[in-house]
Amino acid sequence: MLKNTFCHLTGIGLKKESFLWRNGITTWEELQDNNLCCNNTVLRISSYLQNEINLSIEKYADKDLLYFAERLQDNQTWRIFSDFRDSVAYIDIETTGLYNPDITTIALYDGNKINYYVNGRNLDVFIDDIFRYKILVTYNGKCFDAPIIESFFNIRLNHVHIDLRYVLKSLGYSGGLKSCEKQLGISRGYLEGIDGYFAVLLWNEYCSNNNQKALETLLAYNIEDVINLEKLMVIAFNKKTQDIENLTVNKIPEPDNVEIPFKPHLDVITSLFNTHYHREFRL
């Protein structure tokens, strides 16, 4: 899809890009032709635009994805996804709260392998692992996960960042991650109804009482987030490309189900829920 993209070029917005597609101009190489004809009108391609097209071809070959990300709007970065899926890390963090928080756990999934990191155990390993990837996929990560990670570890995440909050909103799906999952038919089973505040309760229960079942439930919840990020990314990409006129983009198959290495403990969930929410927990 990235090779069919023109809206990162100077002077070409979404409307002009759509016009080019409708008239059979769908690749950078086709746009290089200095005698393009659209609706019996000859389009003259400036030398400046020719140079930008040549640079795009070079940057693509070099896998310089930041070049494209910096020139695409937040709700258009999805275009990078299909060409470079082997460079994607789906990430999500859990914290001690919203204000000046510490990170408690992090989940990272790359479409094949699940990695998880726990404060007090192996959290620093995340720093080495994350820089093996070029693309981050999050939900609301530009406002929450990324700045907290950068502050907590004192690092700079120099990745392409696809924030599904913006992509899904452009498709008409809004609300939090769990809301978008429900709208798109993704179920969480025992973890249905668990939210960020409950994740804090699970961490506190683990720290206060060394309750390993609470930690396992938290990790199951955290990992479920990143597994579902891949599902949402694929759904969003397919929805974005399915109705483009005169442009054939291969549909990405739905990801296989992934076995999460931890199971949520219903007894822990029920106990914490009934104590802190003062009502009965129901699935």
Average pLDDT over residues 45-72: 92
pTM score of the predicted model? 0.91
pLDDT band at 49 (very low <50, low <70, confident <90, very high): confident
- Confidence (pLDDT) at 39: 56
Burial 87-125 (b: 16+ CB within 10 A, else e): bbbbbbbbbbeeeebebbbbbbbbbeebbbbbbeeebee
- Confidence (pLDDT) at 218: 97
- Confidence (pLDDT) at 148: 97
For 94, the token pair is 């859990």
What are 230-270's pLDDT values in tens digits?
999 999 999 999 978 778 888 999 999 899 999 999 999 99
Phi, psi of 37 (to 5 degrees): -125, 120
For 213, the token pair is 């079942």
Average pLDDT over residues 133-151: 97
Average pLDDT over residues 173-182: 92
pLDDT at position 34 over 60: no
pLDDT at position 130 over 70: yes
Residue whose tokens read 């990670």: 149
| H or E stretch at 199 | helix 196-209
What are 187-211's pLDDT values in tens digits?
887 777 788 889 999 999 999 999 9
- Confidence (pLDDT) at 67: 96
- Angle (CA) 91-97-98 rounded to 5° is 85
- Confidence (pLDDT) at 81: 96
Q: Residue type at 38?
A: C
